[in-house]
Every structure is written in C-alpha cells, then in structure tokens.
C-alpha cells in the first residue's frame, strides 16, 4: 500500500527504551516544541515493557535498601529549574526539591547531600513522565506502549517496529534506541558455572545483572554465598542479604555493630584488588557546581593532537602519554590546594592555585611547604594489597579493616576539604573532558583497549564512583560480626568436583579457601553488541541495520572491536554494516559505550546543561528539524495510526 504524507499527517517518532535516557530525549523534544510549536502534528510512541520513565533499573517495585550513589541534590531530569508554573518539559524540580515537596514521612528532612533509595528516583521519574503528559505542547501527543520491540524493519522513509504484545506493530518516521543496561548472553565462564551447578542439587550460579533482578530471595540462611566483584552491586547484594533479612546496625563506640537476624547466609567475596569499593567523600559541592579544568582543557588536547600529527602522521592520542598526565595534573592540583587549605588557609590555597602550572609546580611545592607530601598514585590507591602476603584470613581482615577505617575518616573530611577525596572527586568532574579525549577513535586502538579501558578504566571506577560512607561502615561491621568474609586480593573463583562446591581462594592469603553453595557475579555486565540477549539487537545486527564500532589504526596495522553500537557524532545516527548513517535511526546511552565513554549515568545536574542534556537535545532538535522538512513523500507500509487500530 502507498500513502501520501502531507503536512497534516502526524510525524511519528518512536523512543524504544523509556528509562532515564529515553525520558531525557522526550523531555527535550517537548521542551523544544513548547518554545517553537510544531508545524504539523507530532505523535510520539514511548515503548518499554516496564514503567515509562523508570524502566527496568529504576522501577518502583524494588526494595528500599538499593541506593543511588549520587547525592539527591545533584540529580535532575528536568532540563530547567522550576519557574512557578506546573512541572513540565524544560521546567521542574530536582530530585531533592521533588522529595522535599512531598508529604512522605520516609524522606522527611532529606538534605541535598543525602543518598536516596533507587526506588525514590524511580518514583521521581514516573512522576516526571506524568507531568510531561499533563502539559504537552500544542499538536503533540505521546502514547505509552508497554511492550518489547522484537524487530525493526526499514519501511519507506522510516521503520516498522514489531512488538511482543498488542498493538503488535508501530510504524514511525524516526526511531530512537535508548535501551539501557542489557541482559547479556552467558560467556564460556558463565556456562561452566551454570553446568557445574546444574549437575549438583543445592548449588546455584547467578549471572551478573542489577541486584534488584537477581534471585536473591532463593538464597537460604544455610547457604554460603560467594560473590564475584566488590563494586557498587556488591554493596547492594550484601545489603539485601543482611538488612533485607532483618539485620540491624547499631552505634558501638564510634563504629557500627551488626545485630544479625539469623536469616543471613554466610557471605564470602573477592576481587582482583581485594579492596571493596571505597566511599565517596562527604558532599560539600552545591548542586549547580561545575568544575573548570585548568590542565585537562580542550586547548591542551588540541596541542597534544598537533604533536601526534607531527610525530605519527595522524591525530590519534596515546592515553598514557597524552591524556593521563593531564588528568594527574588536574587531580594533584586539587590535592595540593586542599592540603594548603587544611594546613594554612584559603588565601594560601588560592595563591597556589593561581601560580600552579606544569613548569612551576615542583618549585611551588617547595615554596609552599608541600614537598613532604607523598604523590598520589592511582594504582597504589586502587591496589593497596598488591604483592603483599598474609599468614591467614585474620591478618588480612585486620589490615582490611584498618584500611576501611582510614577510608571512612578520609571521606568524612569531605570532597572539598579532605585532600584525598577532593582530589579523587575531580575524576568525576573530569568525565566530560576525558570523554572528549577518548570518544570516536580519538585514541589509537591499542591505547584505547589497553591503556584506557583495561588499565585506567577499572582504577578510575574504583576510586571515583563510590558508595556513601555509611555503606563502608556497615561492611566493616559485617566483617567484624563474621557475616562477611573478604577472601583477599587476586581472588580465584573455581569449581571443586571432589567436594561439589564452588571454591574461592586468594593466593596471597594462607588458608583462605571458602566453599560456597551459591556463586553470584556482582559485576554489572559490560555492554557488548554481540553478547546482547535482546531479540531486537540480534535482529538489527543480523540484518546489517546496525554494526559494531571498530577503532581502526589509520596506518592499518591495528584495530579494536569496541563492542559498542556504531553511531555518528551528535545527533548519534546509527551506522549500518555498509558504513552508512541511517537518518531514521538514533542510539544513545549504554549501547554506545566504548565508541563513547561513561554512558551509564542516568541524570544530569541542576543548572547549565551538562553532557547528558546536550546529548538528548541534539537528538530532539534533529527530530524536530526532520518533522519540518515536509514535502510530498510516499510512505510504503503501514502508518502508525493504522498499526494501532
């Protein structure tokens, strides 16, 4: 069938995935259309099997012990501040402002520096979605569709989307993929653990996913649970198996003591470093705070690219030589400033900051009495137990608990006044600058794979992401209570056919073997196009409508298959197998990780647009421009109106 599309026919947009990323595209789309009304009807289909706005990760049915790791005052998904009118696209409250305005006794008195449960952010997101629908611009309609998209076919100038439930099909001129955290196919290691457990009654293996999606309720008090990884999800899992089982933490001489409920399993955990993720510093930064880099600047990166062009014949940077030194200069600048503020006063810190340059730093350290300070060493901070040997678990735990106490003390000083946490918090503030240095093949492929993603990436995450301080204090209490055992650095996770159990062991800790009936991977799966379990992703890849982003060496000697979805620069059109940008298909967020970087964040900060809103806005503006390029065109296939009838 052929249909003539005129200016009075609706321009149809489908947003596939309606968590925070999809919601941000919708919010910016509606905000732009409110400023300049649509010239023709615009119909937006928002498609997600879960709650519109919250999606799977932030759904409102999860328990309250799963926490955000960002202070609520720093979180917003409204791209503008409240203006006295109704909350709507472009004007609405931050998470803290929203919580403060609600008569909910659970969160009464929450400050902008508090870390709220994820379920609260889910409620904020669903409320925001409702406010968008209640205040739509003229000639715009939004249609929530609770379904999974299982197939996307190019149809004339747009796409025909097949769904797993009614209305079965949706047609759209433009499709935006914001599908978020993937569920991944089991790799060879996963398959081995699954097979081992399947052959032995009472054993279970839980593949990596968000903690709220793991079958934790099936774990009994008589189980021993081995946990792979000690990052943010580790803290979530431990909280679910302790606080979530009725255990309580009570003050005890300046620390916490854990009162078990008797329903907790025994927990053993390990990782490469043997160090649970350290705490974020107590927040001292205002919600609208923006750090202005002094060394990690665009002119500095441009100069590095110019030198690379002269030396190598292309502008690809080497991360360890060209980028990491700028990051370290920036972090150390803040480190020394905070020490001066602590030792002297604000005036001395400001004077040092004004004089500090690459060429003057060593002289300034002597002049300001800072030469005695040990330099910051990212690797030592992230791997404090490297090459150390322990006579047994008790000796290792004593050393670990001392480290946790030190971390709590450092965090309590704050992310401005505390020299260490202030410095490490700059790693968060530099994400935008780092992204501009590494995304879209800005690095040599060997450097991107090895120096950046393999070496720097895990260290950066360990040192800068961090749970709230009280989570680290709780973990210390659980270790002292014997509920949690940290096995040690370099933990190995194996299967023992003789005893019929999973076995955890650290080669650096004598007698550290722990036999487990449940093995649980607490690492969030890395996005990988070819390991994505989504039917839609597999179909798009199979049909050549999408392809994996490959970082090629200009000289042709090396390449790096990133695992991420190939997209253009803003507005992020998807690139097909032939290298062509598809002007009807966009992708944003986690599916584009590695072509870009740190796409897992689910919000922006109040104040001027950060990268999060800029990304969404670039797609929104391109969608609107396309809707206004109306001529007499032919749409082969079903119209969205017919597909929903």
Tens of pLDDT, residues 207-227: 999 999 999 999 999 999 999
Q: How many residues does the chain have?
A: 645
Name residues whose C-beta falls within 8 Å of residue 542's C-beta, 6 or more positions apart in sequence.
none
The tens digit of pLDDT for each residue in 485-515 reads 999 999 999 999 999 999 999 999 999 999 9
Domain 2-181+528-632, CATH among 3.40.50.720, 3.50.50.60, 3.90.580.10, 3.40.50.2300: 3.50.50.60
Q: What is the pTM of this model?
A: 0.94
Q: What are 470's two structure tokens? A: 């009280």
Region 620-636: mean pLDDT is 71
At 30 the three-state DSSP class reads: helix
Task: Return the closest-CA partner of residue 540 out of 591, 596, 589.
Answer: 591
Q: What is the mean pLDDT of the chain?
A: 94
Q: Is 488 exposed, middle or buried (0-12, 13-18, 19+ CB in 10 A)?
A: buried
Task: Return the closest-CA partner of residue 95 out of 133, 123, 67.
Answer: 123
Name residues whose C-beta falls within 8 Å of residue 48's C-beta, 6 or more positions apart in sequence.
16, 17, 18, 19, 22, 55, 145, 146
Q: Which residues pair with 259 in a beta bridge?
A: 248
User: CA 272, CA 357: separation in Å to the nearest integer?
Assistant: 36
- CATH code linked to domain 188-277+467-521: 3.50.50.60
Task: Return the closest-CA partner of residue 541 out of 521, 558, 564, 524.
Answer: 564
Q: What's the pLDDT band for 6 if we cut at 50, 70, 90?
A: low
User: CA 474, CA 260: separation in Å to the nearest integer?
Assistant: 12
Question: Cα–Cα distances in Å, from 30 out to 37, 47, 382, 629?
Answer: 9, 17, 43, 18
Region 560-585: mean pLDDT is 97
Q: What's the pLDDT band for 24 if we cut at 50, 70, 90?
A: very high
Question: In the chain, what percentage of residues exceed pLDDT 90?
Answer: 91
Q: What's the pLDDT band for 630 if we cut at 50, 70, 90?
A: low
Q: Is 580 exposed, middle or buried (0-12, 13-18, 19+ CB in 10 A)?
A: exposed
Task: Return the closest-CA partner of residue 385 out of 506, 262, 562.
Answer: 506
pLDDT at 631 over 60: no
User: CA 531, CA 564: separation in Å to the nearest integer?
Assistant: 11
Strands of the sheet containing 581-587, edge to edge, are 140-145, 42-47, 11-16, 174-177, 581-587, 573-575
Region 592-596: mean pLDDT is 95
> What confidence score (pLDDT) does residue 106 get?
84
266 and 478 in contact (C-beta within 8 Å)?
A: no
Q: What are 316's two structure tokens? A: 């690809």
Ramachandran sector of residue 352 (left: φ over 0; alpha: ψ -120 to 50; beta: rest): alpha
Place of tokens 């943010």: 232
Helix (H) or strand (E) run with residue 582 in it: strand 581-587
> What confidence score (pLDDT) does residue 7 get?
55
Question: Cα–Cα distances in Å, from 350 out to 215, 290, 368, 380?
Answer: 52, 17, 12, 29
223 and 502 in contact (C-beta within 8 Å)?
A: no
Same fold, 2-181+528-632 and 188-277+467-521: yes
End-to-end CA distance of the chain: 16
pLDDT at 5 over 70: no
Domain map of the chain by residue range? 2-181+528-632, 188-277+467-521, 298-388+415-464
User: CA 519, CA 515: separation in Å to the nearest integer?
Assistant: 10
Region 101-117: mean pLDDT is 90
User: CA 338, CA 418: separation in Å to the nearest integer?
Assistant: 7
Question: Cα–Cα distances in Å, from 36 out to 33, 137, 141, 482?
Answer: 5, 9, 16, 62
Pairing of strands 149-155, 158-163: antiparallel
Question: In the chain, what percentage of residues exceed pLDDT 70?
Answer: 96
CA-based R_g, the chain, Å: 26
pLDDT at 576 over 90: yes
Name residues whose C-beta falls within 8 Å of residue 374's C-beta, 6 or more positions apart in sequence.
none
> What confidence score (pLDDT) does residue 642 get?
37
Region 292-300: mean pLDDT is 96
Name residues whose C-beta falls within 8 Å of residue 264's C-beta, 6 or more positions apart in sequence.
221, 241, 242, 245, 247, 483
Q: What's the pLDDT band for 105 if we cut at 50, 70, 90?
A: confident
pLDDT at 543 over 70: yes
> What confidence score (pLDDT) does residue 4 get?
43
The tens digit of pLDDT for each residue in 57-75 reads 999 999 999 999 999 999 9
Region 464-469: mean pLDDT is 95
Region 535-545: mean pLDDT is 97
pLDDT at 572 over 90: yes
Pairing of strands 501-505, 581-587: unpaired
574 and 566 in contact (C-beta within 8 Å)?
A: yes
Bigger pLDDT: 525 vs 293? 293
Question: Cα–Cα distances in Å, from 588 out to 21, 200, 463, 569, 592?
Answer: 7, 42, 26, 11, 6
pLDDT at 3 over 70: no
350 and 477 in contact (C-beta within 8 Å)?
A: no
> What confidence score (pLDDT) does residue 206 get?
97
> What confidence score (pLDDT) does residue 526 get?
86
Q: Residue 471: phi, psi to the nearest 5?
A: -65, -40
């Amino acid at each position: 069938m052929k249909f003539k599309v005129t200016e009075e026919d609706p321009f149809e947009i489908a947003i596939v995935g309606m968590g925070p990323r999809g919601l941000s595209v919708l919010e910016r789309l509606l905000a732009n259309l409110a400023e300049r009304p649509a010239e023709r009807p615009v119909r937006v289909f928002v498609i997600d099997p879960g709650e519109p706005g919250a999606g799977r990760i932030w759904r409102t049915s999860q328990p309250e012990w799963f926490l955000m790791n960002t202070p609520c005052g720093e979180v917003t998904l409204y791209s503008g501040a409240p203006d006295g009118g109704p909350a709507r696209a472009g004007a609405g409250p931050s998470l803290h402002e929203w919580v403060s305005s609600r008569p909910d006794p659970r969160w009464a008195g929450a400050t902008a520096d508090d870390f709220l449960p994820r379920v609260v952010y889910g409620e904020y997101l669903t409320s925001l979605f409702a406010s968008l629908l209640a205040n739509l611009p003229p000639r715009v309609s939004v249609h929530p569709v609770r379904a999974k998209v299982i197939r996307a076919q190019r149809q004339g100038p747009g796409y025909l989307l097949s769904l797993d439930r009614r209305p079965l099909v949706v047609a759209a001129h433009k499709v935006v993929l914001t599908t978020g955290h993937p569920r991944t196919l089991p790799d060879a290691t996963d398959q081995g653990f699954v097979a081992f457990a399947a052959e032995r009654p009472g054993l279970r293996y839980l593949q990596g996913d968000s903690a709220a999606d793991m079958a934790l309720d099936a774990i009994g008090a008589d189980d021993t649970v081995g946990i792979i990884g000690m990052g943010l999800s580790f803290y979530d899992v431990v909280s679910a198996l302790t606080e979530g089982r009725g255990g309580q933490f009570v003050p005890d001489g300046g620390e916490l003591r854990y009162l078990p409920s008797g329903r907790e399993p025994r927990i053993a955990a390990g990782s490469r470093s043997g160090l649970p993720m350290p705490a974020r510093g107590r927040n001292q930064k205002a919600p609208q705070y923006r750090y202005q880099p002094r060394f990690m600047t665009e002119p500095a990166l441009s100069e590095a690219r110019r030198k690379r062009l002269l030396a190598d014949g292309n502008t690809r940077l080497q991360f360890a030589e060209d980028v990491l030194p700028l990051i370290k200069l920036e972090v150390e600048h803040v480190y020394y400033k905070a020490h001066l503020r602590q030792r002297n006063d604000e005036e001395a810190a400001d004077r040092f900051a004004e004089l500090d340059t690459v060429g003057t730093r060593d002289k300034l350290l002597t002049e300001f009495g800072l030469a005695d300070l040990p330099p910051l060493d990212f690797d030592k901070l992230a791997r404090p137990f490297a090459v150390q040997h322990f006579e047994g678990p008790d000796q290792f735990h004593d050393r670990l608990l001392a480290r946790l106490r030190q971390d709590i003390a450092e965090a309590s000083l704050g992310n401005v006044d505390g020299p260490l946490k202030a410095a490490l918090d700059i790693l968060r503030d530099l994400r935008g600058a780092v992204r501009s240095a590494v995304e879209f093949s800005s690095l040599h492929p060997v450097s991107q794979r090895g120096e950046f993603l393999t070496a720097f990436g895990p260290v950066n995450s360990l040192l800068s992401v961090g749970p709230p301080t009280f989570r680290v204090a709780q973990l210390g209490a659980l270790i002292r209570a014997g509920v949690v055992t940290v096995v040690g650095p370099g933990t190995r996770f194996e299967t023992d056919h003789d005893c019929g159990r999973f076995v955890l062991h650290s080669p650096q800790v004598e007698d550290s073997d722990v036999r487990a009936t449940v093995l649980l991977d607490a690492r969030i799966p890395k996005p990988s196009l070819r390991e994505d379990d989504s039917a839609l992703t597999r179909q798009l890849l199979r049909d050549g409508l999408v392809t994996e982003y490959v970082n090629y060496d200009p000289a042709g000697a090396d390449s790096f298959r990133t695992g991420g979805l190939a997209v253009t620069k803003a507005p992020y059109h998807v690139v097909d197998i032939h290298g062509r940008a598809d002007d009807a298909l966009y992708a944003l967020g986690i599916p584009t990780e590695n072509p870009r970087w740190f796409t897992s964040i689910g919000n922006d900060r109040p104040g001027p647009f950060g990268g999060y809103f800029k990304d969404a806005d670039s797609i929104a503006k391109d969608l609107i421009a396309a809707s206004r390029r109306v001529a007499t065109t032919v749409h082969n296939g079903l119209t969205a109106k017919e597909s929903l009838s």
